A and B are shown apart, each in its own frame.
Chain A
Amino acid sequence: MTLFFALVASAFAATVPVQGTDIAGAWDVLYWFLIYVSAFFVFGILAAMIYFAVRYRRQEGKRPKFIEGNTAVEIVWTVIPTILVMIMFVWGWVVYKKMIHAPLNALEIRVIGKQWLWQFVYPDGKQSINDLYVPLNRPVKLIMSSEDVLHGFFIPNFRVKHDVVPGMYTDVWFEAKIPGIHQIFCTEYCGASHSGMLARLLVLKDDQWKEFLGGKKIDIAALSSDPTFPGFRANMLGEGMPAVSQGDASAPVSLVSQGKTVAQSKGCIACHSADGSKMTGPTWKGLAGSTRKFADGSEGKADDAYLRESIENSAAKIVAGYPAGQMPVYKGLFTEVELAQVIEYIKSLK
């Protein structure tokens, strides 16, 4: 039995993607705990059935024993699973908390899903398609939205995944520990080319990241064959993957200043000041992250979701002291990228 367990375990060890982050390590420990508990019950029940099948098979002259139940045994097999599932729940919750709360100093990159590609917008205004460049050993937070239908953003090596929902911001975060290429999948069914909506995550070491920021094109072929990438398992590299565009790795203006331009061209600055002075609408200075008091007496934190809602549909939450109905509905007049630019601009006005 022990040997059998060992065999199953070693066969399974090759079935988990590489641990691309520390959290992937924590995830794996929990996963193996669940595997062992499951194996215990599955093989235990199988063994019991095989034993009973042999020991208690129909035999001449042997009578079955009349047993209708046994309270003590029933209590035991109710209580033990209860304790086990509570351990699973608490452990799962603890790891999950780590998975979803990004550190405050995380580098924020915006992700836009559309049928059927991934668009990435960096703080310095660069954009890329289907190739996401991130630095090694630094927390990265992806703020995601969709232009059309539901998508799902999934990096198996990092054990992170979240749906990408139109009209809403969701996020995932990670701190990559292994440089090189990691696979990104779309996991929420989105139509004809759902299975072709793949992207590459390119984890760059310090010098390469500086080159990327400097606008230099990164040689991806060299990246994947670089022998200094330990732990990179070829089976997660998309060999034979559909061709992806190289992406626009050079953009001259930062996301914040692009946002400033958009704010001017869309006429936002006619009513919103950037320096704290009071105009028709509330000022943008110090707005992001602050606690807002609304006309109906409620309060709310000015996070990305709030900023987005106020741009698209300001009437949803009117700030106390300002009349309703002043700002038109902007929904549909901003692209996802423009929304990201303006929001980043507002967030820069501290």
Chain B
Amino acid sequence: MGSHEVAGEHQVAHHFKSALDEFEACKQAMWIFLVTEVLFFSGLFVAYTVLRVFEPEMVKAAHHFLDWRLGALNTVFLITSSLTMAFAVSASQRGDNKRVVRQLIYTLILACGFCVVKIYEYSHKFHDKLLPGAHFGNTELTANKAGLFFSVYFVMTGIHALHVVIGMGVILWVILRARKNEFSPNYFTPVEITGLYWHFVDLVWIYLFPLLYLVG
């Protein structure tokens, strides 16, 4: 945030008293942002709960049309990527920029794996006309209002996937900065808060997976 940034050397913004103050402010802001994210998703979880409570049979019937093995594979991808992210953060705290780059690249690859599986799943759903609300046209799934299940499915996983893609962009930006040796034990804020965000994205999926793929 400083007005004169030199590669490899971070300047504390003029209105903060110390680097520690700045770091704490950024970290607090990230936590608050994650609170807003929780509330953003909570709306979707409420919609899901309403559907599940009022249409338990339909949700049960519809969830069989999601492949739990693909969901589980994606869970593995994301949990592993959280682990590599944690390694990257701890490396940045030691100022080991090379290791930061390496671990973040692993994270990116795992995230790509997640996206590929998601695209594969989506294209299947489109092919089988397992689509939201008005566009639902699958003939095998006869349960009434099944379109609503796929509305919830697409909106929840779609918004989550959007978070994954945004996260990948941020990780890429952190990689570029790490390659310029910008992080040191005195300044690793971007890695730390990107890590917080990424763990949150992972956590959302850990709720989505059983709720959507493993009903009842």
Contact = CB atoms under 8 A, between A and B. Distances in A.
A296 interface: yes
A204 to B, nearest CB: 41
Contacts of A324: 57
B49 interface: no
Interface stretch (B40-48, B138-146, B152-160, B199-207): B138-146
A170 to B, nearest CB: 18
Interface in B116-144: 142-144
Nearest to B55: A316
Contacts of A296: 56-57
Nearest to A296: B56
Interface string B35-72: 00000000000000000001111100000000000000
Contacts of A318: 57
Residue of B55, B142, B144 with highest tally of chain A CB at under 10 A: B144
A116 B63 CA distance: 41
Nearest to A314: B144
A88 interface: no
A329 interface: yes
Interface centre among A313, A315, A318, A329 (most CB of B within 10 A): A315
Contacts of A331: 144
A325 interface: yes
A315 B144 contact: yes
A133 to B, nearest CB: 37
A329 B145 CA distance: 10
Contacts of B54: 316
Contacts of B58: 315
B15 to A, nearest CB: 32
Interface residues of A, number: 9
A324 B142 CA distance: 12
B216 to A, nearest CB: 11
A60 to B, nearest CB: 44
Nearest to B58: A315
A313 B57 contact: no
Contacts of B55: 316
Interface in B141-197: 142-145
A38 B51 CA distance: 43
Contacts of A316: 54-55, 57, 144
A332 to B, nearest CB: 11
A86 B90 CA distance: 56
Nearest to A298: B56
Contacts of A313: 144-145
A313 B57 CA distance: 12
Nearest to A309: B54
B144 A325 contact: no
Interface in A9-28: none
A195 to B, nearest CB: 31
A246 to B, nearest CB: 39
Interface string A289-324: 000000010000000000000000101101000001
A338 B133 CA distance: 26
B173 to A, nearest CB: 47
B138 to A, nearest CB: 15
A329 B55 CA distance: 14
B89 to A, nearest CB: 47
A329 B144 contact: yes
B142 A325 contact: yes
A52 B137 CA distance: 73
A184 B198 CA distance: 57
Interface in A327-342: 329, 331
A329 to B, nearest CB: 5
A333 to B, nearest CB: 13
Interface in A80-131: none
Nearest to B54: A316
17 contacts: A296-B56, A296-B57, A313-B144, A313-B145, A315-B57, A315-B58, A315-B143, A315-B144, A316-B54, A316-B55, A316-B57, A316-B144, A318-B57, A324-B57, A325-B142, A329-B144, A331-B144
Interface of A: 296, 313, 315-316, 318, 324-325, 329, 331
Given A316-B57, A324-B57, 7 more contacts: A313-B145, A315-B57, A315-B58, A315-B144, A316-B54, A316-B55, A316-B144
Among all A-B residue pairs, the 6 with the closest Cβ atoms? A313-B144, A329-B144, A315-B144, A315-B57, A315-B143, A316-B55
